[in-house]
Chains A and B, each alone.
Chain A
Amino acid sequence: MSLPPSFLQSRLAKLSRLAAHPEFAIGLREMLTVAPGIGAWGVMTGVAMVESGMNLVAVLLMAVLVFAGSSQLAALPLLSGGAPMWVVLATGFCVNLRFIVFSAHLRPYVRHQSRLRRLMSGYLFADINYVFFTRRFPTPATERDAILAQDAYWVGSGVCGWAVWSLTGLVGVGLGSSVPRSWGLGFAAILALLAITGSLITSRLQLLSATVAGVVAIVAYALPLKLNILVAIGVAVLACLVSESRSVRR
């Protein structure tokens, strides 16, 4: 498969123009503030991948390519248990269902991009990227300069998250079992998310959303495949919509 050189050149030119935009650095820096949390989670995931007994090629590929912590961790026991491939993939899909909700939200922000570019944009955006991006850009841009700014932020944020996740995953692979899992270093990721939750609670309704989601996530915990997360998002959003329409009517 060979691509015309002009294709690659135009891609690289586009990428370097985005990287030179000030929003690129802002997106990157915002992700760096949570790097210790993502990093600790990445190291622990790397350790878990080695300890699962997968072959090294698969471990390394998983560390740099899959880029979705909870689906990686969910896949490990299935892979070492010799589950059929479709079961592993279906499990990963269900664990990732929340991303489908995020993609519905983000769709208007990428409508000007080519399909290939949209796939790349989606790949780069995990939970925290999505949260930071929608916090910084509550509405999709419509004019050229503003669209460029959002794109630049997107790439900076996404590349930074990917780099931190992959590098710390590889560190975890290298450390192997010399980091006892009983230390619970992964708790740093929860603390990072705790701070992010705080930054998102800017109104009474956002507080309602967080509270409802937290309670429902516990009540529905017994659901398989982390579906409690999805149910919690659904109920919280619904509760906010109902509460919103009531206060409007009053």
Chain B
Amino acid sequence: MSGHDLWTVATVLGLTAVTVLTRAFFFLSNRDGTLPPWADRGLRYAPVAAVAAVIVPEIVTTQGQLITTWMDARPIAALAAAAWYGWRRGVLGTIIVGMAVYLPLHVALGW
């Protein structure tokens, strides 16, 4: 392996350490601090916020710009998937229905 390859491998190992460091950030200390009550309450709203923050831009924007055409496969597929979820609740079904709408529109029509 060349020096550059070794450098890349070392960086990948470093990224692994970053994964551990960030995911276990507040696990590192042995001291058991407790969060203030408002933070404790507030964190209950964090999971849904995190997921929504990831998906909403991916569905209705292109690189952060709101899409201006209805000929985009993503919002249409997301609506179909959401309708399925509202009706049947399954995650797998939501993925299948969404992709069944998305792939033909996106791959065949280029939406």
Contact = CB atoms under 8 A, between A and B. Distances in A.
Interface of A: 33-34, 36-37, 54-55, 57-58, 61-62, 65-68, 71-72, 75, 79, 82, 85, 88-89, 92-93, 96-108, 110-111, 115, 118-119, 121-123, 125-127, 130-131, 134-135, 138, 182-184, 187-188, 190-201, 205-206, 209-218, 221-222, 228-229, 232-233, 236-238, 240-241, 244
Contact of A37 (B10, B35, B95): B95
Contacts of B89: 198-199
Contact of B9 (A58, A122, A209): A58
A194 B27 contact: no
30 contacts: A33-B92, A55-B1, A58-B5, A71-B19, A79-B8, A82-B4, A85-B10, A101-B46, A102-B50, A103-B25, A103-B26, A105-B43, A106-B27, A108-B34, A110-B27, A126-B23, A187-B58, A190-B54, A191-B98, A194-B98, A198-B82, A205-B45, A209-B45, A213-B49, A214-B55, A217-B57, A218-B57, A229-B50, A233-B50, A237-B42
Interface string B22-48: 111111101010110011011111111
Contacts of B35: 104, 107
Contacts of B66: 218
A131 B44 CA distance: 10
| Residue of B7, B19, B20, B66 most packed against chain A (CB within 10 A) | B19
Contacts of B10: 85
B102 A187 contact: yes
Given A68-B18, A214-B53, A221-B64, 9 more contacts: A36-B92, A96-B19, A97-B22, A100-B25, A101-B50, A110-B27, A131-B51, A184-B107, A233-B49
Contacts of A228: 53, 57
Contacts of A191: 77-78, 81, 94-95, 98-99, 102
A34 B85 CA distance: 13
The 6 tightest CB contacts between A and B, nearest first, are A122-B24, A221-B64, A214-B56, A232-B53, A236-B49, A213-B49
Contacts of B48: 131, 197, 200-201, 206, 209-210, 213
B27 A96 contact: no
Contact of A88 (B11, B32, B91, B95): B11
Interface of B: 1, 4-5, 7-16, 18-28, 30, 32, 34-35, 38-39, 41-61, 63-64, 66, 73-74, 77-78, 81-82, 85-86, 89-92, 94-96, 98-99, 102-103, 106-107
A233 B52 CA distance: 9
Contacts of B74: 187, 190
A237 B1 contact: no
A217 B46 contact: no
Nearest to B43: A105
Nearest to B34: A108
A205 B28 CA distance: 32
A127 to B, nearest CB: 6
B91 A96 contact: no
A229 B54 contact: yes
B81 A213 contact: no
Contact of A93 (B18, B34, B60, B77): B18
Contacts of B90: 33, 195
A237 B102 contact: no
A195 B38 CA distance: 28
